[in-house]
Structure 1
Amino acid sequence: MSVLTTRFTELFGVEHPVVQGGMQWVGRAELAAAVSEAGGLGLITALTQPTPADLAKEIEKARTLTDKPFGVNLTILPTITPPPYDEYRRVIVDAGITIVETAGSNPEPHMDLFKANGVKILHKCTSVRHALKAQRIGVDAVSIDGFECAGHPGEDDVPGLVLIPAAADKLTIPFIASGGFGDARGLVAALALGADGINMGSRFMCTVESPIDQAVKQAIVDADERDTELIFRPLRNTARVAKNAVSVEVVRILNEGGQFADVQHLVAGARGRTVYENGDVEAGIWSVGMVQGIIHDIPAAGDLVRRIVTEAAEIIQGRLASLVTAVGVAS
């Protein structure tokens, strides 16, 4: 099969410029290992694991499934009672992990230990200004998250078609494009816009190895690009989630002047976890992106990676190449 070599693949030592997003409750060993084994970059989500010791076990499980590089996502949340980040960091380093995806708040307080131990840092950003700050503080690469994405798209509402080339114009470090990517066409588009690869979350939710209930995967396949809601907009903490009775109610309450306390019982994380575990897509809030409109099947994760890269090479070498006509210059 063809190989697409970019600054990202060379820096992170992977074969293909395709990254599996670090998703809460989804980024477990089986999925991450399957993506990495196929030549992409799989990510285990640290905070999905209830304790640092559990994360260590999950890393070891992944190592029994692949000897290819995989990473760990560490989402930094501004909470009253933060997780024991120092312990999670130590587990990551002691386990010999060499790639960490950071997201959420500023990763700078976490970087010294990682850098001292040769860990490369990929930081997720939703704006060019945040990406430039991440570059200044020394991350190795960034992931640029467009407005189409699942989870938190920021408050600027800039879609990938503008955000990606805007980032390419300003950044000097490698970056990958996130939000709205689900097939070979998206990969080719991202590369054309200046990115060095793509990050996919919702697309990898719909794979055989994804640990969520089959009913949720089928709901994503059956949905279209309009079936998401933007919650918490009045609170300026926007999140894109699946459209269901719960998310519609959250939007209504907040649009009518409600505060977070008025919806807290509806958006509890435990309810969202129940969706993934039991398959009741109306049980709570759960994340999915607009890209669900182009997700039509539930393949093995490795097959998906190989399909995307193969088809991307065919688009580049076939249709796009055929559009170019050499024109001679008269002397």
Structure 2
Amino acid sequence: MISTRFTELMGIDHPIVQGGMQWVGRAELVSAVAEAGALGFLTALTQPTPEALVAEVARCRERTDRPFGVNLTMLPSITPPPYAEYRDAIIAAGVPVVETAGSNPAEHLPHFHAAGITVLHKCTSVRHALKAQALGVDAVSIDGFECAGHPGEDDVPGLVLIPAAAERLTIPMIASGGFGDGRGLAAALALGADGINMGTRFLATVEAPVHQRIKERLVEATELDTDLVYRQLRNTARVARNGVSRSVVQLLAGGAEFAEIRELVAGRRGRTVYESGDPEAGIWSAGLVQGLIHDIPTVAELVGRIVGDATDIIRDRLGGLVATG
């Protein structure tokens, strides 16, 4: 067991987080992560209504009595979801931990804290992490450029971003982006983080509620098989490379407006990828860490392996490099 400030804060056994993933953060995966002693997050907006989210929380509780949380991602939108209603549903459901992401969480923090909820905020830069700390979040998760989804616009990889944040933060920090094995956990701890967040690696597990073919695609892929889309729109996202992503990259590079790619990047098409198993059906998130994914274990096997390998690296390999006497 590896104990850190983050495990103590969250009441979990291992410093590993399964962050919110749209269409994937459901009870099957989150409960398995919790049972393995790590911290999993249901994804609020995967559920069509706040009432459906409350039902999903209940379904997760039927599967585990260990701590788990809910991710609430707030992004600019022409027709934004009813974030306050989802927030109130989270509070009503008695969820102990919330992962906020996207926009500034200031509006929601007083409500969560009044309900005794611990808040972890996802950031992509040191300045955003410091702002979140100043607002009063309890911990931050900081995404390096290697991550799936939105890595921000600074293009700073974790090897620099993590220690740069660790030098200035006083609250617990989780490292995200490029993590998938014990070597990554040991490295993150050495760089000053209190644990790791994994998304893509958890996609390729038995319990992940996605089609087997998508899991196999992650095993087949290398670290070269991702694309950065929306760069020209300053809303960069790292996704699995396929025909759709290549088309989007080429269209935007040629000066296309968002309206011209809207249908290609529709969220429903990404959901179809996970449900149908067709990796060419739409845009779907994958990080560079897919180059380190070589199997499809159970969540318990994966978490146990990561913690065991990290422990061996810290105790035996790294400890053995220090000369004594």
TM-score tier after normalising by the smaller chain length: over 0.9
Query: In the aligned structure 1, how far is the partner of 2:243 from the partner of 2:78?
Result: 29
Q: Which residue of 1 aligns with 2:198?
A: 200
Identity %: 68
Task: Give, in angstroms, the shift of residue 311 of structure 1.
Answer: 1.2
Could you list the per-position Cα deviations for residues 49-84 of structure 1 after superposition, in whole angstroms to 9, with x for gaps in the alignment? Answer: 001111111101111111000000000111121111
Counterparts of 1:221-300 in structure 2 under 5 Å? 221-300=219-298
SS in structure 2 at match of 1:282: coil
Within a 5 Å distance, the mapping from 1:1-150 to structure 2 comes to 3-150=1-148
Find the aligned partners of 1:165 and 1:12 in 2 and give their Cα distance: 22
What TM-score do the two structures reach when normalised by structure 2?
0.99
| Distance across 2 between alignment mates of 1:263 and 1:211 | 28
Q: Report how many residues are paired.
A: 325
Q: Distance in 1 between matches of 2:136 and 2:311?
A: 32
**Displacement after TM superposition at 1:157 (Å):** 0.2
What is the one-letter code of the residue matched to 1:60? A
Give secondary structure in 1 for the equivalent of 2:108: helix
Q: Distance in 2 between matches of 1:90 and 1:155?
A: 31
What letter matches 1:98 in structure 2?
P
Q: Matched residue of 1:108: which SS?
A: coil
| Distance in structure 1 (CA, Å) of the matches to 2:180 and 2:14 | 15
Residue identity opposite 2:254 in structure 1: E
C-alpha distance in 2 between matches for 1:211 and 1:36: 16
**Offset, 1:326:** 1.3
Q: Choose 120-129 or 300-309, whichever is displaced more.
A: 300-309
The one-letter code matched in structure 2 to 1:218 is: E
TM-score computed with the length of structure 1 as normaliser: 0.97
Aligned CA-pair RMSD: 0.7
Q: CA deviation at 1:268?
A: 0.6
Return the alpha-carbon distance in structure 1 between the equivalents of residues 259 and 83 of structure 2. Answer: 27
Residue 262 (structure 1) shift: 1.2
Whole-Å separation in 2 of the counterparts to 1:254 and 1:90: 38
